[in-house]
A and B are shown apart, each in its own frame.
Chain A
Amino acid sequence: DAGITQSPRHKVTETGTPVTLRCHQTENHRYMYWYRQDPGHGLRLIHYSYGVKDTDKGEVSDGYSVSRSKTEDFLLTLESATSSQTSVYFCAISEIGFRVGNTIYFGEGSWLTVV
C-alpha cells in the first residue's frame, strides 16, 4: 500500500466552522490531490499540488483552500463548512501528474459530516 495517511478519518462539525483535513505521504511523490466522493458523482477533483507551494484548482474548488508547505503534507481547509460539503474526502498522490501512464494512489478517505 502507498504510504498515505489522512487525518482525521471521521469528523462531525457544525455549519460555519472551519475544518482542516490533513494528508501525509511517505512516498516523496511530487503530485498530491484532494478529491471528494458523492453518490452519483463519482470522484471530483477539488485542488491539486504539483510541488511545494504550487497548487491549482480542480472542478469543484469553491469553498475550499489548500496549502502545501512540505513535500509530504497537503492540507485541505473548509473556511466555513456548509452542509453541501458533507462528503468523503480522498487524498491521492502520483509521480507524474496528469499524463498518460500515470498511476494515482489514494488514501483511505476522511468522512466529514456538516450538521
Chain B
Amino acid sequence: TQLLEQSPQFLSIQEGENLTVYCNSSSVFSSLQWYRQEPGEGPVLLVTVVTGGEVKKLKRLTFQFGDARKDSSLHITAAQPGDTGLYLCAGGGGATNKLIFGTGTLLAVQP
C-alpha cells in the first residue's frame, strides 16, 4: 500500500513566523500536488510539481519536490491568519496510478 506521511500533524504558530510541512513516502511518484482545505469546504489545488528537485513559489509559499521524487516540502514565510487550514499533499503516477493523498497537516496561525 502506498502511503504519504505528512509531518507535523498539527502546527499552531504566531503570525509572522516561518514554517515547513513535510510529505514523505517510500514510493516514487510522477507528480506531487499540494492542496489547502478550509473548514467546511473541499480541498483546493495550490501547486503541482513534476520534476525531481523542482522548486515552485506561490507568493509566500515555496514548494519543493525531492530529487528522488519520494518526498516534498511546503515552506511558508511570514505566516498570516489567512494561511490557516488543512494542507494535503497528493502523489500521482505511483504504483497504483491513482492520486494518493497524504494524512494532512492542520495549520493554525494566531494573530
Residues of A in contact with B (beta carbons under 8 Å apart)? 4, 35, 40-45, 58-59, 90, 92, 98-109
How far in angstroms is the closest Cβ of chain A from B88? Answer: 6
| B residues in contact with A40, CB < 8 Å | 9, 103
Residue B111 at the chain A interface, CB threshold 8 Å? no
CB pair B50 A103 closer than 8 Å? no
**Residue-wise interface mask of B (1-40) relative to A, using a CB-CB cutoff of 8 A (1 in contact, 0 not):** 1001010010000000000000000000011000000001
Q: Which residue of B lies closest to A35 (CB)?
A: B101
Asked if B78 CB lies within 8 Å of chain A CBs, one says: no
Interface residues, chain B, CB within 8 Å of chain A? 1, 4, 6, 9, 30-31, 40-45, 48, 50, 88, 90, 92-93, 96-99, 101-104
By beta carbon, the residue of chain A nearest B3 is: A42
CA distance A43 to B90 in the complex (A): 9
Q: Is the interface of B mostly helix, strand, loop or mixed?
A: loop
Chain B residues lying within 8 Å of A98, measured Cβ to Cβ, are 92-93, 97-99
Return 11 A-B CB contacts under 8 Å, by A number.
A42-B4, A42-B6, A42-B88, A42-B101, A42-B103, A42-B104, A44-B101, A58-B98, A59-B98, A98-B92, A100-B93
